């Protein structure tokens, strides 16, 4: 297609779900824009050409002159800012922005507060939990971002609160989010195939704090502590006895309580979610909800009924005293460590871990300590199974399975009453499945067939 250059036009890079949502939004605003995608037939090409046949769409390598002549570039999260045409455009002074930037501007104009949540793990659970707390409190809340609907698709006139899950990819090209409260739940190595090192990944995550009014910090993870002005309100959550006004845990008469300072909030055994890692998620949600004024009674009520999300330490079945847990969303090392440490302490037996897939450049040695403590055996699947075995060699017993069906059969045969079979792959799913949901669904179906 020939290049069409206007005095003022936005260029949307990427025609996936986010890019298409941005195209729809800009069209509603009456703004001129064009679209570019490196793929020859991107996912929303047919839909865009049907709805907006006059919109120029450029396929293949990103044209340098098109990028350089744009008024602004709106970058989809799947596209790296290191693409040569984008690097050249940035040097020429073209602003490179995200859909989150566009969304945040509109939310600020409408004076609607934003809760912005990121982290290596648990961000979907905490985002959904805070959203449910707000709904229980009677607010008209919109929840999305990296979870569910793209941010610009959530914009509406009647919203009281936005609760947003944001990925590092989205945050790379986001500036001045200006959230009412922002949080990095935790930081552990992930997407090391995109980032040079943990520090660059960490820096992308911390862009969530730009312009925020309040922050929530994980007191158990120093990498979540932001550099913000003293005028920014700071609240922490941790697994220990907290300081005044902060959230944490306290033992009283043999019962573990979630507390704020000296104030008991709720006994941990009343949580509908299970696992020690979900106690931390509940504390994070309480801190975030308080920061935007959600009433405590509504938040407590939500915690007694919110059972968590599918594919995130989801109970599947109990067969002959063996529990089967689907944590297919455990796509990085930190998520799998959290699942092992969250589930292991309550067991009378050990964990049979099913792991493997696309490792994304991960160092799997962090699995050694929790597996040594709680693991019985690791059943390995997927492309990078050998990388996991090399990291665990001579420390944790491993066995290879040709596929998920074989892995479930092996785990079922070797687990005994009191054990737990856990699918938490520490890897992406794309070597064998369309997404982590398809992987988790397959695991769950195979388990249910055993009963």
What positions carry a catalytic annotation?
123, 146, 191
Report which DSSP code applies to 428. B
The whole-angstrom distance between residue 6's C-alpha and the CA centroid of its chain comes to 37
**In contact, 15 and 43? CB cutoff 8 Å:** yes
Strand order in the sheet with 10-13: 57-59, 33-37, 10-13, 72-75, 96-97
**In contact, 133 and 161? CB cutoff 8 Å:** no
Nearest to 447 by CA among 401, 409, 397, 416: 409
In terms of Cβ atoms closer than 10 Å to its own Cβ (0-12, 13-18, 19+), residue 80 is: middle
d(CA 189, CA 1): 41
3-state class (DSSP) for residue 209: helix
Nearest to 70 by CA among 22, 29, 10: 10
Torsion of CA 134, 152, 97, 109, to 10 degrees: -70
3-state class (DSSP) for residue 315: strand
Residue 196 tokens read as: 């040079």
d(CA 31, CA 223): 40
For residue 95, give Cα distances in angstroms to 55, 91, 325: 21, 10, 45
**In contact, 76 and 12? CB cutoff 8 Å:** yes
Name every residue whose Cβ is closer than 8 Å to that of residue 91 and which is 6 or more positions away in sequence.
none
Nearest to 189 by CA among 335, 372, 346: 335
Q: Quote the crossing angle between the two packed helices 123-136 and 276-291, to the nearest 10°.
A: 50
């Amino acid at each position: 297609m020939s290049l069409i250059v206007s005095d003022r036009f936005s260029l949307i890079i990427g025609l996936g779900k986010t890019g298409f949502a941005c195209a729809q939004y800009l069209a509603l605003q009456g703004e001129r824009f064009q679209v570019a995608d490196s793929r020859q037939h991107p996912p929303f090409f047919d839909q865009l050409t049907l709805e907006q046949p006059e919109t120029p769409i450029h396929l293949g390598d990103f044209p340098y002159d098109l990028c350089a002549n744009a008024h602004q570039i709106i970058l989809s999260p799947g596209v790296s800012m290191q693409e040569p045409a984008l690097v050249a455009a940035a040097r020429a002074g073209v602003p490179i922005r995200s859909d989150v930037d566009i969304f945040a501007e509109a939310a600020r104009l409408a004076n609607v507060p934003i809760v912005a949540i990121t982290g290596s793990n648990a961000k979907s659970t905490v985002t959904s939990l805070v959203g449910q707390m707000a709904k229980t409190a009677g607010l008209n809340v919109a929840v999305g971002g990296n979870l569910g609907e793209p941010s610009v698709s959530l914009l509406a006139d009647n919203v009281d609160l936005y609760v947003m899950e944001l990925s590092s990819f989205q945050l790379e090209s986001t500036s001045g989010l200006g959230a009412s409260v922002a949080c990095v739940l935790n930081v552990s190595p992930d997407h090391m195939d995109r980032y040079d090192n943990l520090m660059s990944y960490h820096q992308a995550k911390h862009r969530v704090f730009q312009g925020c009014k309040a922050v929530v910090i994980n007191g158990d993870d120093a990498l979540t502590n932001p550099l913000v002005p003293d005028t920014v309100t700071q609240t922490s959550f941790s697994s220990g006895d907290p300081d005044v006004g902060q959230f944490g845990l306290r033992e009283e008469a043999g019962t573990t309580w979630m507390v704020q300072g000296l104030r008991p909030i709720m006994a941990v055994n009343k949580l509908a979610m299970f696992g020690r890692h979900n106690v931390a998620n509940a504390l994070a949600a309480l801190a975030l909800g308080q920061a935007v004024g959600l009433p405590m009674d509504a938040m407590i009520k939500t915690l007694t009924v919110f059972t968590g999300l599918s594919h995130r330490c989801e109970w599947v079945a109990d067969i002959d005293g063996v529990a089967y847990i689907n944590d297919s969303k455990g796509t990085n090392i930190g998520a799998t460590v959290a699942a092992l440490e969250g589930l292991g302490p309550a067991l009378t037996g050990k964990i049979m871990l099913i792991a493997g897939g696309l490792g994304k450049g991960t160092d799997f040695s962090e699995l050694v300590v929790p597996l040594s403590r709680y693991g019985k055996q690791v059943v390995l699947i997927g492309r990078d199974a050998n990388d996991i075995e090399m990291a665990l060699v001579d420390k944790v017993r491993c066995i290879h399975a040709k596929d998920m069906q074989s892995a479930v059969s092996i785990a079922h045969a070797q687990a005994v009453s009191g054990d737990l079979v856990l699918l938490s792959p520490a890897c992406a799913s794309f070597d064998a499945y369309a997404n982590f949901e398809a992987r988790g669904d397959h695991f769950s179906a195979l388990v249910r067939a055993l009963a």
